[in-house]
Structure 1
């Protein structure tokens, strides 16, 4: 099948290359000329495990363009995978979704064949039918579910293992209204051996938000218990190892530490809270999960000050800047909150991350330009008075921490066993 993908960020690029791997031809559409050139040169504009190799292997089976008409007229299905950032009040910003819908609609005006438009971006319940559909109809002069298909297909990709998740998902959720669209998307996803859950469009939108809100809450719950465990001298990881053996609960997302970041949980919980409040509901549990997460990274600073009470002028190392390992994504990373607090305390920060240093410097100029970046984690250990572990990159397990004060936010065992002074945030 011929597929076009609007947006070539983490979701769009992985989704598109996943479809290429399954034997389809893919056209990426992006407004960023740099991304278009890189994709056409088989160079991924983001870091994601296995992506560079996949792009090299299937070069010629995909291409990128800035031209919506070229993409729509030469494909059967279009996925909207643009960003949906948060506004200042926490509500979802749909400007990129609206722009994409308008451009797709204008291109559909010129197309005679039945074309399916699929919203892949994370949007609140009602958005596909109440926002995307009217824009597509207005600019195409056609009617949804009759002249063209419209569906909602949320993504459940974990950055760092996103390609594996695309090809081996727990489930594929597809929100559809008409049988023709259902059949086309069923055929597109047929090669993937996973449950296909077909539902109405609004329910598919809500499944995504409910999933992310629950996982975020599970992490915050674990961290709240972990904070209590720390004061009682209990290893919270052992606690949740036991809790997770209950088949009703499962062990996943119980790794206590300094909380969640990234592109999904923070903005999706905020958007769901805002939407609930607009509906007259008070989402107490989700609000509490967000509040716990906001405070959690500062536990590292509290523990550090037990051993280094005055941070003014002291050199503090930060290992890890990405919000999680195996990605260069720094959106809502806990490293920002921690480094900002260190700088406010007068510390000199020396940082290292295998992939995310340039992104951190660019995304957070207020602190990113005030810290020193080094070429290896060994440089961090050599040149600092104490070290904070913020991201659990596997290479950090190979270091010698024997002469250091280490405050660990992610449970790096080599530091736990070898540091001169060691504190775990929840253990």
Structure 2
């Protein structure tokens, strides 16, 4: 079975490599000359554990190819996936659909036979039907169906999420003359390997599938903001947020995941999708007030963390050196999009701090978005040497293994502000460190 993937970014590349691993023949279309050249040479322009090996093995097997010609990629493909960016539109936070619409028009001119045009990008409800309109306008003779197949890939664990998913959501046009039967048959063959391992595959209407991605990410963002507010409350009342989260998570209706306090959510999905869902609700005259408030709470959280660091340093960081461990929005990725480190480090630099930063894979990606005065170190202890204070912003595993005595010996000052709660408070204080964490007495 042959498919095409329009877009070789994070979602498109991971999806294409995994589909190729399923045994499908996958042609990826990428219009960035720099990215395309890298992919053709087997160089992966993003950091995702295991992706380089997966791409290399499937390129060698002849199942995965990269190019910039949509016509050759779409020719003979039974399914054409759109996996282009939908960034927030300037001004109102709504998803910018220009790249999706452009891809739809290009696909229309490239179609040579029946194909299912599948939206993989995160898009507002109604997008698949708009794609169908654009294709019909460009090619009234084209034979096609549309489908929505949102991705649920976690950066750092994307391959595992694709190969062993919690669920696969496929939205079909149930108003089509055949009720979507033909497109469903194609999509079932695309995902047949997952059917064999009994992964849940849910077929819905187009609008339901499109909305499910926004609803899922927004709900998780609400959980994060909720536990962050509970951490604040725990500090006021002398409670322990970790025990609180455990007590909540043992309730099967709530679950344990995403109940970890931190400096606020970031990344490519949660900030963008919560803004987009807020806008979708406003335009539909059905406002999502809880999501709107979550966006406000999260933005305030990031700024508040900078104030917490300054307060821990005696009310001023002017002329003081602060080490920051972790820059990316989460571990196992080099993604700096909407990372809490961005507003926090800019605030510290504005307040006069000298900043030493260390991230296992994110140093280079961080440089364009962080203050130019930041100094970068490949090693955490070197970053911490002779600093007045140290801040943990991303919970990389390697940081967890640092011995408190080692930190105490490297630092000039003794202030530790752990915004991910990766260290044991008792051990840190036993080493003579002035340790602060989130939501713990």
Shorter-chain TM-score above 0.5: yes
1:280: how far off?
2.2
Deviations 1:405-424 (A, max 9, x none): 21111121268733611111
User: Are residue 152 (structure 1) and residue 154 (structure 2) matched?
Assistant: no
User: Are residue 410 (structure 1) and residue 414 (structure 2) matched?
Assistant: no
User: Are residue 326 (structure 1) and residue 332 (structure 2) matched?
Assistant: yes
Hey, what does 1:135 align to over in structure 2? 134
Hey, what does 2:176 align to over in structure 1? none
Rounded Cα–Cα distance in structure 2 between residues aligned with 1:69 and 1:349: 50
Rounded Cα–Cα distance in structure 1 between residues aligned with 2:168 and 2:327: 31
* Partner SS, residue 294 of structure 2: helix
User: Are residue 56 (structure 1) and residue 56 (structure 2) matched?
Assistant: yes
* Number of aligned positions between the proteins: 417
The farther-off stretch of 246-255 and 31-40 is: 31-40
Hey, what does 1:164 align to over in structure 2? 160
* Partner SS, residue 301 of structure 1: helix
CA RMSD of aligned residues (A): 1.6
Q: Which of 386, 390, 409 is the equivalent residue of 1:387?
A: 390
* Partner SS, residue 407 of structure 2: coil
* Partner SS, residue 399 of structure 2: helix
Hey, what does 1:121 align to over in structure 2? 121
Rounded Cα–Cα distance in structure 2 between residues aligned with 1:176 and 1:215: 26
Deviations 1:172-220 (A, max 9, x none): 0000122111001011101113111001101110111111111111111
Q: Which of 274, 277, 282 is the equivalent residue of 1:269?
A: 274
Q: Which of 211, 215, 224 is the equivalent residue of 1:219?
A: 224
CA contact under 8 A between 1:303 and 1:423: conserved in structure 2?
A: no
The farther-off stretch of 277-286 and 238-247 is: 277-286
Rounded Cα–Cα distance in structure 2 between residues aligned with 1:376 and 1:162: 27
Q: Which of 103, 107, 115 is the equivalent residue of 1:100?
A: 103
Distance 1:318 1:151, change over 3 A: same
Unaligned runs of 5+ in 2: 174-179
User: Are residue 317 (structure 1) and residue 323 (structure 2) matched?
Assistant: yes
CA contact under 8 A between 2:309 and 2:417: conserved in structure 1?
A: yes
Rounded Cα–Cα distance in structure 2 between residues aligned with 1:223 and 1:325: 19
CA contact under 8 A between 2:265 and 2:340: conserved in structure 1?
A: yes
Q: Which of 413, 421, 426 is the equivalent residue of 2:434?
A: 421
- The TM-score normalised by the length of structure 2 is 0.91
Unaligned runs of 5+ in 1: none
Matches within 5 A, 1:185-224: 185-192=187-194, 193=197, 194-224=199-229
Rounded Cα–Cα distance in structure 1 between residues aligned with 2:386 and 2:207: 54
